[in-house]
Amino acid sequence: MLMRPETAGPRGAVATTHWPATQAGMAVLDRGGNAFDAAAAAAFVQQVVEPHLNGPGGDVPIMVHRPGEGVRVICGQGPMPAATTRDRFRDLGLDSVPGSGLLAACVPGAVGAWLRLLSEYGTLRLGEVLAPALHYAEYGHPLLPKAAR
């Protein structure tokens, strides 16, 4: 049975799909960062330790909620390339944008969304949030045999 790695502490809880990312998020909380700092730290670590599932070329929808405020969305889906038009798809015999493949590609938006989250809601400096991801990128990390192939 697969289980999602999660940890909880006096300042909050973190759950991701890989232990180093979960630990990075918890470490940020333990150092006084807020939930937004922890989420971004965990996300950047995931881009390093799970390159087969995450990466800077991806998208991310972020829903932000703070007590007393409504929900806000930071759309981490980039725009379609400038040459993409409805007429272009029609010329290719398509009624809509395909759900996958090259024609579905957009400009990556994940990194920009995480940076916006940090600039608007984070409490730590960017270097502090990125430190765990940079550590794993430089010194290595656990890797599933399947991903190593």
Q: Contact 79/70 with Cβ under 8 angstroms?
A: no
Nearest-angstrom CA–CA distance, 8 and 75 = 28
What the block records as the tokens of 58 is: 């991806």
**In this predicted model, what pLDDT tens digit does every residue of 33-50 receive, in sequence order?**
999 999 999 999 999 998
Q: What is the mean pLDDT of the chain?
A: 89
Spans of all domains in the chain: 11-142
- Say what percent of the chain tops pLDDT 90: 55
| Residue with the two structure tokens 């909880």 | 8
Q: Contact 57/29 with Cβ under 8 angstroms?
A: no
Would you say residue 98 has pLDDT above 90?
Answer: no
pLDDT of residue 90: 92
How many CA atoms, within 13 angstroms, populate the side-chain half-sphere of residue 18?
24
DSSP 79-108: PPPTT--HHHHHHTT-SS--SSSGGG---B
Q: Ramachandran region of residue 13, left (φ > 0), alpha (ψ -120 to 50) or beta?
A: beta
149: three-class secondary structure by DSSP: coil
